[in-house]
Amino acid sequence: MYKIAIIGFGVVGQGFAGLLESKAEVLRKEHGLEIRLVAIADSQKGSVVDPEGIEIAELLAWARDGKSLNLFPGKEHGLDAVATIERCGADIVFEASWTDIKTAEPATTHIRRALAQGMHVVTTNKGPLALHAHKLLAEAKDRGLELRFEGTVMSGTPLLNLARYCLAGCQISEIRGILNGTTNFILTQMSEGGSYGEALKTAQDLGYAEAVPDADVLGWDALAKVCILANTVFGAEITPDPKTLTCVGITGISAEDIEAARKAGQVYKLIGRVWREDGRVQVSVSPQRVPQEDPLAGVSGAGNALTFTTDVLGEVTIKGPGAGKIPTGYAMLVDLLDIHRALTCRKGD
Ligand code: HSE
């Protein structure tokens, strides 16, 4: 049985909690995994700590009604995220707080506090992995702890785990694809005659867009994701600085550009790319005209897709959701299972 804490109880935190509830029996019966939720903290909604366990269905109903977590039945209330981590006694902390890809805070502080307390960590937060992957992974390793972050790229679509486990015997020379759901949604809507403004508004309403949508439409979110891939799959150390790296968003793409591409049998996609050149790892993000026969061309709406170019298998493409409450919550569930497997393995069970 693992005691867990959730830091950040917005769309992703609630998506994860919902899956813990709906999948509880599967987790127990098929994976021998039981959890006790001992703390939740959210900068807007308040916090509750209870070592005896927090009833998840009740908690979700509470959050749906917009009630403060400070009033939810429990032992301690009103702590900030760091104090919650320090006082909750969890085995695993699930970090899903507000994403800031420029400073990676407060998420990095949450992760480091949890590791310092001897807690394993799962995060879907892109900032810490885009800016500090090596340091955080080293910190976890030095302490004998697990740090997982599947949801940082392509949400619950098993992209990082695909690279980490299934492509482990391959040399990957390039990763190229659609990494931002909001911009793919906007480009798809525009290709169907919709306007940029309306499409962005819908993406915001559907919860795909970042709090500040500049991060999506200017390419910064996709850049953070290619840097996570560069740093964790290719072992590079690249900081996602849009001023020094090739990073072009979709704001310059007009309805006329999209129509011209369509007449030529092509579609516009915001393409993120990581590749090796002259022994160095390179990254870029830019809108490109993709031919219809490319597997990326048919990826519409908020979908994401990536093609790995490998020595053994040639091209391997994975397509799936890249954002949203349940897909991103699912990434946390899968990371929980992966940590459970790793810890079970250590014990030699
Ligand atoms: N704003 C991001 C997107 C969310 O649209 O892809 C998922 O990282």
CATH of the domain at 236: 3.30.360.10
pLDDT level of residue 71 (50, 70, 90 thresholds): very high
Say whether both 196 and 293 belong to one domain: yes
Number of domains in the chain: 2
pLDDT, mean of residues 85-98: 96
Say whether both 225 and 334 belong to one domain: no
Tens digits of residue pLDDT in 99-138: 888 899 999 999 999 999 999 999 999 999 999 999 999 9
* pLDDT over 80 (residue 210): no
At 324 the pLDDT is 86
Say whether both 168 and 291 belong to one domain: yes
Say whether both 91 and 134 belong to one domain: yes
Say whether both 285 and 171 belong to one domain: yes
Centre of ligand 1 to C-alpha 31, Å, is 30
Token digits for 83? 């104090």
Question: What are the residues whose beta carbons fall under 8 Å from the beta carbon of 230, sequence distance 6 or more?
Answer: 236, 238, 274, 281, 283
Centre of ligand 1 to C-alpha 336, Å, is 22
Say whether both 122 and 32 belong to one domain: yes
Tens digits of residue pLDDT in 9-41: 999 999 999 999 999 999 999 999 999 999 999
pTM beyond 0.75, yes or no: yes
Mean pLDDT of the chain: 95
pLDDT, mean of residues 255-282: 95
At 206 the pLDDT is 83
Say whether both 211 and 99 belong to one domain: no
Say whether both 168 and 305 belong to one domain: yes
When comparing pLDDT for 324 and 105, which is higher?
105
Atom 8 of ligand 1, residue of closest alpha carbon: 323
Cis? peptide before 295, omega within 30° of 0: no
* pLDDT over 80 (residue 59): yes
pLDDT level of residue 331 (50, 70, 90 thresholds): very high
- The answer to whether the CB of 129 is under 6 A from ligand 1 is no
Tens digits of residue pLDDT in 142-178: 999 999 999 999 999 999 999 999 999 999 999 999 9
- The answer to whether the CB of 221 is under 6 A from ligand 1 is yes
When comparing pLDDT for 178 and 196, which is higher?
178
Catalytic residues: 225
CATH number at residue 108: 3.40.50.720
- Atom of ligand 1 at shortest distance to CA of 210? 1
At 209 the pLDDT is 83
pLDDT, mean of residues 171-187: 96
- Atom of ligand 1 at shortest distance to CA of 328? 7
At 99 the pLDDT is 85
- The answer to whether the CB of 213 is under 6 A from ligand 1 is no
At 268 the pLDDT is 96
- Atom of ligand 1 at shortest distance to CA of 185? 5
Say whether both 140 and 226 belong to one domain: no
pLDDT, mean of residues 83-91: 97
Residue numbers of the domain that contains 45: 2-156+326-348
Centre of ligand 1 to C-alpha 50, Å, is 32
At 288 the pLDDT is 97
* pLDDT over 80 (residue 348): no
At 349 the pLDDT is 58
Say whether both 290 and 343 belong to one domain: no
Say whether both 102 and 227 belong to one domain: no
Say whether both 128 and 168 belong to one domain: no
* pLDDT over 70 (residue 343): yes
Residue to mutate, 221, 319, 330, ligand 1, most ligand atoms under 8 Å from C-beta = 221
pLDDT, mean of residues 38-53: 97
